[in-house]
A and B are shown apart, each in its own frame.
Chain A
Amino acid sequence: GQQLNQSPQSMFIQEGEDVSMNCTSSSIFNTWLWYKQDPGEGPVLLIALYKAGELTSNGRLTAQFGITRKDSFLNISASIPSDVGIYFCAGSVGNAGNMLTFGGGTRLMVKP
């Protein structure tokens, strides 16, 4: 079946640093979504991408839909403590928007 490889699996951040994570797939997707999940909560949508090559921003977050349709990245600029959490990429094929394939997640933690 389809799988999404998300990296890094975890990373430490210091306030003010820029953060980058990416997702790759062996299959083509028509939609890429990025979610953030806090403990005890469901995933919350951050950015949705619907077109190959699309670059979209949401505040300090920027995400891109890869030209090959097999990858996407998410950047967070000038990180703040509330950015801590788990970030998931998710892809969808065709018009089945709800049938998402998720990556394994990137856990952001604060540097001690």
Chain B
Amino acid sequence: DAGVTQSPTHLIKTRGQQVTLRCSPISGHKSVSWYQQVLGQGPQFIFQYYEKEERGRGNFPDRFSARQFPNYSSELNVNALLLGDSALYLCASSWGTSPTFGSGTRLTVV
């Protein structure tokens, strides 16, 4: 069975640009969440979506947005990129209380 898949795996963007990251959950998982992991730190919660509705939002600016589609896949959008947005962005899916993580998208903002 396929795990949580994220695309792209790596991305380089310029300050001020916009980026869209994609996530496909494990088949049957209806909840998707997004985390930002800065180098040397633990992941920080950004969003949770369940059945296409936002169920939780972390302490991130409005430049960050997300959505979930009818097939439960999800996108994370970040506008007006800053150098500090450089990080590993992780997607996790679950059907219960033990989320399974993807390998992440490494975003570098230059």
Inter-chain CA distance A61–B5, complex, in Å, is 27
Report A-chain residues with C-beta under 8 Å of the C-beta of B4.
42
Q: Tell me how far the C-beta of A95 lies from the nearest C-beta in chain B, rounded to whole angstroms.
A: 8
Q: Given the complex of chains A and B, what is the CA–CA distance between A95 and B43 in angstroms? A: 20
Min CB–CB distance A89 → chain B (angstroms) = 9
Among residues of B, the one whose C-beta sits closest to the C-beta of A1 is B59
Residues of B within 8 A of A95 (CB): 97
> How many residues belonging to B are interface residues under a CB distance threshold of 8 Å?
27
The answer to whether A41 and B43 have CB atoms under 8 Å apart is no
- Let me know if A104 is at the binding interface, CB within 8 A: yes
Q: Complex formed: what's the CA distance from A31 to B99 in Å?
A: 12
Q: Kindly state whether residue B103 has any CB partner on chain A within 8 Å.
A: yes
8 closest Cβ pairs, A-B complex: A97-B97, A102-B42, A42-B101, A98-B33, A99-B56, A98-B48, A48-B98, A42-B103
Taking CB atoms, residues of chain B closer than 8 Å to A44 are 101
Q: Which residues of A does B touch, CB under 8 Å?
A: 1, 4, 6, 31, 33, 35, 40-45, 48, 50, 88, 90, 92, 95-105
Cβ-defined partner of A88 (8 Å) among B31, B42, B99: B42
User: Cβ of B90 and Cβ of A100 under 8 Å apart?
Assistant: no
Which residue of chain B is the closest to A45 with respect to CB atoms? B98
List of A residues within 8 angstroms of B94 by Cβ: 97-98
- Is A92 in contact with B90, judged by CB distance below 8 angstroms? no
Known: A1-B59, A96-B48, A96-B55. A33 touches B98 (CB 8 A): yes
In the complex, besides A45-B100, A102-B35, 14 extra interface pairs with C-beta distance below 8 angstroms are A6-B42, A42-B92, A42-B102, A43-B101, A48-B98, A50-B97, A98-B56, A98-B94, A99-B33, A99-B45, A99-B56, A100-B33, A104-B41, A104-B42
